[in-house]
């Protein structure tokens, strides 16, 4: 079969190389000795693997991994639940004001998180949740993107399946659990990947709402490797590689489901 766009392959190879270049640079510098300076020499002359051991011990990554994984899993589970319920209601129930709710849900996507610092802080303080895990979970327990994603996906499902189940005597929650939920698997996996990776890489909430060392997350740990005027680049890149590896593996495992979910919901480019 003749290729319609023969000029596209070089562009794809170039894009892939540009995407991989920072990862290769991080891996290269992470094995350099502590005297390596990127501004002086491009390629390290001496190599060592001790940076990973030192970064793991100095950064207390075991505690940081536990905290980040706990928060990411809790937020992901909460968003899956709230997005499925809200998305199903907006897609199937014709209630007064549904268009306005849809509009507000989409509008919430353009509100930057720093703009909400003060109201979120006041709410968390009134709940006595500052410096607790709840301060890292509650602000993003529900998300407009997830609701919009599930609404779009459910609207594309054949409503006849649900009507047939209701005629057979099934209740709404049974229809949701046994019919809608299995069919929403691609969209749910897509949302889970986006949410988990976003929470793992989040620096804003831990920086704003926690100060206790036992609540340190991966991103707070990474920031501790960057000194004000100097930096051990080899140790810093080793810490970046350690922090990036879990989400990179997760993305590689779920990339097929991610692409199918984006395609099914009409969010592909």
Extents of the domains making up the chain = 62-264
Dihedral sign computed on CA atoms, order 213, 219, 223, 224:
positive
**What pLDDT sits at residue 71?**
96
Q: How many helices (H) and strands (E) does the chain have?
A: 14, 0
pTM for this entry: 0.83
Q: What are phi and psi of 35, to 5 degrees?
A: -85, 5
- Token pair recorded at residue 4: 């319609």
CA 60, 61, 62, 68 torsion: positive or negative?
positive
Three-state SS at 219: helix
**Interval 136-147: pLDDT, tens:** 999 999 999 999
- How many whole angstroms separate alpha carbon 142 and alpha carbon 81? 9
Residue 269, pLDDT above cutoff 70: no
- CA nearest neighbour of 226 among 216, 237, 214: 237
pLDDT the model gives residue 54:
86
Mean predicted confidence (pLDDT) in 184-189: 89
Mean pLDDT of 234-260: 80
36 against 23, higher pLDDT: 23
Q: Do the beta carbons of residue 260 and residue 52 sit within 8 Å?
A: no
Dist CA 76 CA 100 (whole Å): 26
Q: Does domain 62-264 have CATH number 1.10.3720.10?
A: yes
Answer whether residue 33 shows pLDDT above 80. no
More confident residue, 230 or 72: 72
Q: Residue 30: which of 188, 197, 206, 233 has the closest Cα?
A: 233
Which one is predicted more confidently, 98 or 6?
98
């Amino acid at each position: 079969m003749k290729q319609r766009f023969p000029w596209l392959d070089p562009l794809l190879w170039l894009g892939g190389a540009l995407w991989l270049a920072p990862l290769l640079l991080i891996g290269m510098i992470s094995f350099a000795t502590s005297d390596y300076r990127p501004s002086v020499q491009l390629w390290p002359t001496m190599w060592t693997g001790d940076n990973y051991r030192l970064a793991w011990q100095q950064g207390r990554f075991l505690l940081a991994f536990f905290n980040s994984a706990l928060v990411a899993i809790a937020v992901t589970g909460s968003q899956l639940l709230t997005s499925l319920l809200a998305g199903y209601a907006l897609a199937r129930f014709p209630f007064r004001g549904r268009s306005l709710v849809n509009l507000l849900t989409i509008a919430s996507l353009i509100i930057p998180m720093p703009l909400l610092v003060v109201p979120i802080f006041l709410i968390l303080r009134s709940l006595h949740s500052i410096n607790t895990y709840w301060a890292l979970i509650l602000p993003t327990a529900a998300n407009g993107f997830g609701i919009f994603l599930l609404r779009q996906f459910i609207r594309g499902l054949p409503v006849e399946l649900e009507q047939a189940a209701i005629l057979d005597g099934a209740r709404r929650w049974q229809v949701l659990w046994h019919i809608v939920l299995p069919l929403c698997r691609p969209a749910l996996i897509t949302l889970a990947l986006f949410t988990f990776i976003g929470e793992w890489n989040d620096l804003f909430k831990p920086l704003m709402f926690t100060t206790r060392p036992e609540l340190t997350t991966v991103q707070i740990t990474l920031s501790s490797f960057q000194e004000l005027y100097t930096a051990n680049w080899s140790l810093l890149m080793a810490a970046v590689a350690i922090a990036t590896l879990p989400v990179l593996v997760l993305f590689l495992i779920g990339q097929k489901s991610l692409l199918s979910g984006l395609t099914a919901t009409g969010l592909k480019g």
